């Protein structure tokens, strides 16, 4: 596990913006540590290294812009990819399934995906591929982005202020956040495996 505190101090506000933007809607951003990064940044804000208001504002903007980028990428390129003949990786039925899924579950998917690594990167792209109504997507993108960035940053901030010497427990807390955030992915993998 790399040193998140050192990363945040070195990257600063601009680096945090870039990481949250990339993880929120760019294919290569799926491996970035968004949850633990926001929590640790909030903790550092409680110690005076960052301004909590500026932190929340910038990460919220990055999350919303990242999701929008992912959505438009999916909307513009998805249908072109799936126009191709059916193959092992691409099948025209996938477009129909994506459209039906986002018609039925789109709003809550956009919100809950924020709290699940990997899923949060691909959900906006798939929403674009699935032709989710943009105004609906944008509204729930704002809600999800606010809950995720403000929620985790403020959790780190208030714990940093309320719990004496919390920095001694920072590594286990961050590890717990990572474990909790990947549990939905593990659950889905196991569910699929045992259905076979």
pLDDT tens track for 132-184: 889 999 999 999 999 999 999 999 999 888 876 666 666 676 666 666 665 55
1 band by pLDDT with thresholds 50, 70 and 90: very low
DSSP 33-92: -HHHHHHHHHHHHHTTSS-HHHHHHHHHHHHHHHHHHHHHHHHHHHHHHHTSPP-SS--H
The total domain count for the chain is 1
CB atoms under 10 Å from CB of 61, counted, come to: 15
Report the first-to-last Cα separation within the chain, whole angstroms: 34
**Mean pLDDT lowest among 42-46, 54-58, 174-178, 187-191:** 187-191
Domain extent at residue 34: 4-195
DSSP three-state, residue 116:
coil
């Amino acid at each position: 596990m790399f040193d998140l505190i050192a990363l945040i101090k070195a990257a600063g506000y601009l680096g945090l913006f870039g990481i949250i933007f990339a993880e929120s809607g760019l294919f290569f951003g799926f491996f970035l540590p968004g949850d633990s990064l926001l929590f640790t940044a909030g903790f550092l804000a409680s110690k005076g290294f960052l301004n909590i208001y500026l932190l929340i504002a910038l990460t919220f903007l990055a999350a919303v812009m990242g999701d929008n980028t992912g959505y438009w990428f999916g909307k513009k390129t998805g249908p072109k990819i799936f126009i191709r003949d059916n193959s092992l990786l691409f099948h025209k039925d996938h477009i129909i399934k994506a459209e039906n899924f986002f018609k039925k579950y789109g709003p809550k998917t956009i919100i809950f995906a924020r709290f699940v690594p990997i899923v949060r990167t691909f959900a906006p792209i798939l929403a674009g591929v699935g032709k989710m109504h943009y105004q609906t997507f944008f509204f729930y993108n704002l809600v999800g982005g606010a809950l995720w960035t403000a929620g985790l940053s403020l959790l780190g901030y208030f714990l940093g202020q309320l719990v004496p010497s919390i920095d001694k427990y920072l590594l286990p807390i961050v590890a717990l956040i990572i474990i909790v955030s990947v549990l939905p992915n593990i659950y889905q993998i196991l569910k699929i495996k045992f259905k076979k």
